[in-house]
Amino acid sequence: MIIIKLGIIRKTAALLCVCTLIATCLFSQRVKRKGTEPIDISKQKRPGANVKTFTIAQLAGKWQEISRDSKTNMSLSFTDTIFLNFLDSDKVFTKQGNETTMKGEAAIDATNNELVAAADVYTIVSVTDSMMVLDNQENILHTLKKTDQFLYETFGKKKTVSAIYKEPISVKLADIRGKWVVYKREAKPGTVNPPSTIINYVNIINITDENTATGEITFYQSEKSEMLSCTVKVTNAGFAVKADKYNWPLFVYKLGKNEMVFGEADVLLYFAKKM
């Protein structure tokens, strides 16, 4: 009888161990809404566990999308530029392409840096004083630049061109190689109107000879953004960019290690930072 009881106790203990293991495995997965995969919460980071947090105060101001990339580092063309204007009162105005501007709440979930901007939801990847990268949670990364005015707000508006930028300078291809992102523009009144092509950034990548290189250029035309492969050729007082049917003869007025002023002084000047 004692032997039989010991056998029953052993079987019962083994069964309890198996049930406990199954329950532990099931508990480690939280079932999301229908149609989505369960999340393994045992691997999720707890609040404050090496997660950099952001605040709405950091985002105050206007942000305009300048580039769009896949998570495999492929540059993507787009026509629905994202515009975000965060106010100090946790409110935000959002606009995408030619759609109507929407106003709504702005909030950040500190546990995972999820940003809610009116009807849109992103994950914040990084934020600096001038640049922000957002993940749209669909494998697309949006890079936005902080600006005083959105591009569509500048059409037809008067601007005064700085008088100091009058004489162009000669440059070497090696000195302008790299990615130059435009952070400011100055235009002579009446010269920048749709459908003008407005440069957003120039990326000079591969030097093919002493005066010629290949790369990429992103530009706006009628609020639509387009990225094209291009050829860059150094001229006597600047450089020329050719991409498909588009041509930009550009004079250089200032060139430093990380800053360049180029364009045409009496028409449109671009102020760019090297990234």
pLDDT tens column, 80-121: 889 999 987 789 999 888 788 888 899 999 889 999 998 899
Work out the pLDDT band at 166, boundaries 50, 70, 90.
Answer: confident
Q: What is the pLDDT of residues 33-82, one digit of tens each?
A: 233 344 343 334 444 445 668 999 899 999 999 889 998 888 888 878 89
pLDDT of residue 20: 45
Before 249, cis peptide (omega within 30)? no
What one-letter code names the amino acid at 187?
A
Whole-number average pLDDT of the chain: 78
Q: What is the Cα–Cα distance from 223 to 193, expressed in whole angstroms?
A: 11
- pLDDT of 25 > 80? The answer is no
In this predicted structure, what is the pLDDT of residue 119?
86
CA distances for 207 relative to 129, 169, 173, 213, 240, angstroms: 32, 21, 8, 4, 14
DSSP 177-218: -EEEEEEEEEE-TTS--TT-EEEEEEEEEEE-SSSEEEEEEE
pLDDT band at 192 (very low <50, low <70, confident <90, very high): low
Structure pTM? 0.49
Q: What is the pLDDT of residue 225?
A: 80
Give the largest CA-CA distance in the chain. 107
pLDDT score for 149: 82
Pairwise pLDDT comparison (35 vs 122), residue with the higher score: 122
Helix, strand, coil percentages (3-state) for the chain, rounded to 5, are: 15, 50, 35
Q: Which pLDDT does position 191 carry in this prediction?
A: 65
**First-to-final CA distance of the chain:** 82
Number of Cβ atoms within 10 Å of the Cβ of 108? 20
Residue 163: DSSP 8-state: T
* pLDDT (tens digit per residue) in 213-227: 999 999 887 667 888
Task: Determine the pLDDT at residue 86.
Answer: 94
